[in-house]
């Protein structure tokens, strides 16, 4: 049986608020991995100066119980850093 993965898309100041590093720290003690991370931004200078948001999409994979814990932490991290979660959806 294939385990489902959770696809997450976040919009906000991903790079300048170091969300990638905070995300890695938030899940370090869980049996999950964040894979296929894609960060895009329209313009580098405008993004760094927080005039334009960037978009990050990734997959959360791992044991079901740990995925739930990780998802809670990801949602909290987004809230604390004023990052919008555009969607969260399970994929096979």
CA distance 32 to 26: 11
Q: In the chain, how many H helices and how many E strands?
A: 3, 4
Percentage of the chain modeled with pLDDT above 70: 92
Give the total number of structural domains in the chain.
1
The model's pTM is 0.88
pLDDT in tens, 71-86: 999 999 999 999 999 9
Q: Which domain holds residue 10?
A: 5-91
Check: CB of residue 37 under 8 Å from CB of residue 62.
no
Specify the CATH number for the domain of residue 51. 3.30.70.2690
């Amino acid at each position: 049986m294939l385990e489902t993965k959770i696809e997450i898309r976040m919009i906000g100041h991903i790079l300048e608020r170091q969300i990638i590093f905070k995300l890695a720290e938030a899940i370090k003690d869980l049996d999950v991995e964040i894979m296929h991370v894609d960060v895009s931004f329209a313009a580098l200078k405008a993004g760094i100066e927080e005039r334009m948001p960037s978009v990050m999409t990734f997959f959360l994979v791992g044991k079901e119980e740990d995925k739930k814990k990780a998802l809670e932490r990801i949602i909290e991290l987004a809230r604390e850093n004023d990052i919008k979660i555009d969607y969260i959806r399970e994929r096979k």
